[in-house]
Amino acid sequence: MQRIEPVIYKTKMLQTRSFISTLKESPENAESISHRLMLRANMVRMLVAGVYSYMPLGFKVLSKIENIIRQEMNSVGSQELLLPSLQPIELWQKTGRDELLGETMIRFTDRRGRKLCLGPTHEEVVTELAANFVKSYRDLPFVLYQIQTKFRDEVRPRFGIVRSCEFIMKDAYSFDRDIKGLVEIYEKMRLAYEKIFRRCGLDFVSVKADSGVIGGDVSHEFMVPAESGEDVIFKCKICNEVKSAAEVQVEDCPHCKQDMEKVNTLEIGHIFQLGEKYSKALGVKFLDEEGKQQTVQMGCYGIGVSRLISAIIEQNHDKDGIIWPAQVAPYQVVVVPVNVSDKEIFEKACDIHKTLEEAGIECLLDDRDERAGVKFKDADLLGFPLRITVGNKWTNEKKLELMERRSKGSRDIGAGQALEEVRRCLQTGDCG
Ligand SMILES: Nc1ncnc2c1ncn2[C@@H]1O[C@H](COP(=O)(O)OP(=O)(O)OP(=O)(O)O)[C@@H](O)[C@H]1O
Ligand SMILES: [Mg+2]
Ligand SMILES: [Zn+2]
Report pLDDT digits (tens) over 102-132: 999 999 999 999 999 999 999 999 999 999 9
Mean pLDDT for 392-411 is 96
Q: What is the pLDDT of residue 5?
A: 57
Rounded to two decimals, the pTM is: 0.95
Span from the CA of 183 to the centroid of ligand 3 (angstroms): 28
**Ligand with the closest atom to the CA of 156:** 1
Residue from 336, 407, 341 nearest 378 by CA? 336
Under 8 Å between Cβ of 200 and 315: no
Mutate to test the pocket of ligand 1, among 205, 267, 300 (most ligand atoms within 8 A of CB): 267
Three-state DSSP class for 1?
coil
Span from the CA of 211 to the centroid of ligand 1 (angstroms): 12
Q: What is the 8-class DSSP label of residue 119? A: -
Q: Whose CA is nearest to atom 3 of ligand 1?
A: 163
Span from the CA of 364 to the centroid of ligand 1 (angstroms): 33
Cis omega before residue 6 (within 30°)? no
Span from the CA of 221 to the centroid of ligand 3 (angstroms): 20
Question: Is the CB of residue 268 below 6 angstroms from any atom belonging to ligand 1?
Answer: yes
Q: How confident is the model at residue 235 (pLDDT cuts 50, 70, 90)?
A: very high
Q: How confident is the model at residue 20 (pLDDT cuts 50, 70, 90)?
A: confident
**Ligand with the closest atom to the CA of 257:** 3
Question: Is the CB of residue 219 below 6 angstroms from any atom belonging to ligand 1?
Answer: no
- pLDDT single digits (tens) 294-345: 999 999 999 999 999 999 999 999 999 999 999 999 999 999 999 999 999 9
**Ligand with the closest atom to the CA of 259:** 3
Question: Is the CB of residue 220 below 6 angstroms from any atom belonging to ligand 1?
Answer: no
- Ligand 1 atom with minimal separation from the 230 CA: 26
Question: Is the CB of residue 154 below 6 angstroms from any atom belonging to ligand 1?
Answer: yes
Question: Is the CB of residue 121 below 6 angstroms from any atom belonging to ligand 1?
Answer: yes
- Ligand 1 atom with minimal separation from the 157 CA: 1
C-alpha–C-alpha distance, residues 259 and 250, integer Å:
9
Q: What is the pLDDT of residue 1?
A: 47
Which helix (H) or strand (E) is 46 found in, with range? strand 44-48
C-alpha–C-alpha distance, residues 195 and 199, integer Å:
6
Q: Whose CA is nearest to atom 13 of ligand 1?
A: 304
Alpha carbon 6 to chain centroid distance?
A: 34
**Ligand with the closest atom to the CA of 210:** 1
Q: What is the pLDDT of residue 25?
A: 84
- pLDDT single digits (tens) 57-101: 999 999 999 999 999 999 999 999 999 999 999 999 999 999 999
Largest CA distance in the chain: 86
Q: Whose CA is nearest to atom 2 of ligand 1?
A: 163
Q: What is the pLDDT of residue 2?
A: 52
Q: What is the pLDDT of residue 102?
A: 96
Angle between helices 56-75 and 179-199 (to 10 degrees): 140
Question: Is the CB of residue 167 below 6 angstroms from any atom belonging to ligand 1?
Answer: yes
List of residues 6+ apart from 325 with CB closer than 8 A: 200, 201, 312, 316, 385
pLDDT at 8 over 60: no
Question: Is the CB of residue 157 below 6 angstroms from any atom belonging to ligand 1?
Answer: no
Span from the CA of 239 to the centroid of ligand 2 (angstroms): 31
Under 8 Å between Cβ of 51 and 117: no
Which helix (H) or strand (E) is 420 found in, with range? helix 418-428
Span from the CA of 398 to the centroid of ligand 1 (angstroms): 52
Which helix (H) or strand (E) is 285 found in, with range? strand 285-287
Q: Among the listed ranges 27-41, 62-76, 245-259, which one has the minimum average pLDDT value? A: 245-259
